[in-house]
Amino acid sequence: MDLMDMLNESADYIRSRAGNDRIDVAIVLGSGLGDMADEIEDAIAIDYHDIPHFPVSTVPGHKGRLVIGRLEGHRVMCMQGRFHYYEGYSMAEVVYPVRVMKVMGIDSLFLTNAAGCVNKGWNPGDLMIIKDHIKLIADSPLRGANPDALGPRFFDMTRAYDKALIETTEKIAAELGINIRKGVYMLFTGPAFETPAEIGFARIAGADAVGMSTVPEAIAASHMGMHTLGISCLTNMAAGILDQPLNHEEVLETGERVKKDFSALVRGVIKAWPVFF
Ligand code: HPA
């Protein structure tokens, strides 16, 4: 089946459940950050496995549903759980939901994730605005035939993370008294956490954080001309920085610990979300 036909079927199904009202922002919630979706008002939840052509999430801590409703005066669609490359999905499958968003007419994307902190001057629990990313792994969601209806073959990545959204987030964080960081996120495929040597390499390369998500979605969003904001919750110091092993429980625990700040920041940013169109 043609990709555009599949995307339209997915979009039609979501609209049949949630209505046709314009959605202002789509939010993707990372590991341990999914509780935020419970704050959405007048919410309709749609399990991924009910949506035609949608992949289904397999990670503990990821629920696997869309929550559509109102947050801070805006209509939002929230992905509670996302798809990761390490689960076995192709990059194109990983970004499928982002493409559905675009087909639904959504032009703003708010990506969040849990990430390892590479910057030695920062701390677990810090929140970081993604100002840019590094993807050294060869695969790309746009590898193969270009879906021309979505965007051009070759496309710009200098504005992958929207400047106005970054500035808005810095302003809101300052108003809320949240000490926000701004840095470069580097994609690793996982599911193994990185080695200490890989983290040393990431630091030399210019990375402040490492993680296993977000980059494919940001690339697909850029391809389609969407306005993207990325925020990482730095859940742990990356491998080899502290003399201790890494584990997924620490990632979830830190997410739980910073829940209040994270939620306040997301709400503040959604409230102040610039009108682009
Ligand atoms: N590495 C990669 N992904 C992560 C990490 C990490 O240290 N922490 C949370 N997600």
Instruction: Supply 49's token pair.
Output: 């496995």
Q: What is the pLDDT of residue 277?
A: 54
The pLDDT tens digits for 48-104 are 999 999 987 666 655 689 999 999 999 999 999 899 999 999 999 999 999 999 999
- CATH for 3-271, options being 3.40.50.1580, 1.10.3720.10, 3.40.50.300, 3.30.565.10: 3.40.50.1580
Say which residues have a Cβ less than 8 Å from residue 177's Cβ, sequence separation at least 6: none
State mean pLDDT over 140-163.
Answer: 96
Nearest CA to ligand 1 atom 2: 211
Radius of gyration of the CA atoms of the chain, in A: 17
245: three-class secondary structure by DSSP: coil
The reply to whether 86 belongs to the active site is: yes
Domain boundaries, the chain: 3-271
* Pocket mutation for ligand 1, best pick of 33, 189, 210 (most atoms within 8 Å of C-beta): 210
CB-CB contact of 34 with 81 (8 Å): yes
- Per residue in 199-216, pLDDT (tens digit) is 999 999 999 999 999 999
Does ligand 1 lie within 6 Å of residue 128's CB atom?
no
- DSSP-H helix ranges across the chain: 3-18, 91-94, 96-103, 163-176, 196-205, 215-223, 248-257, 259-271
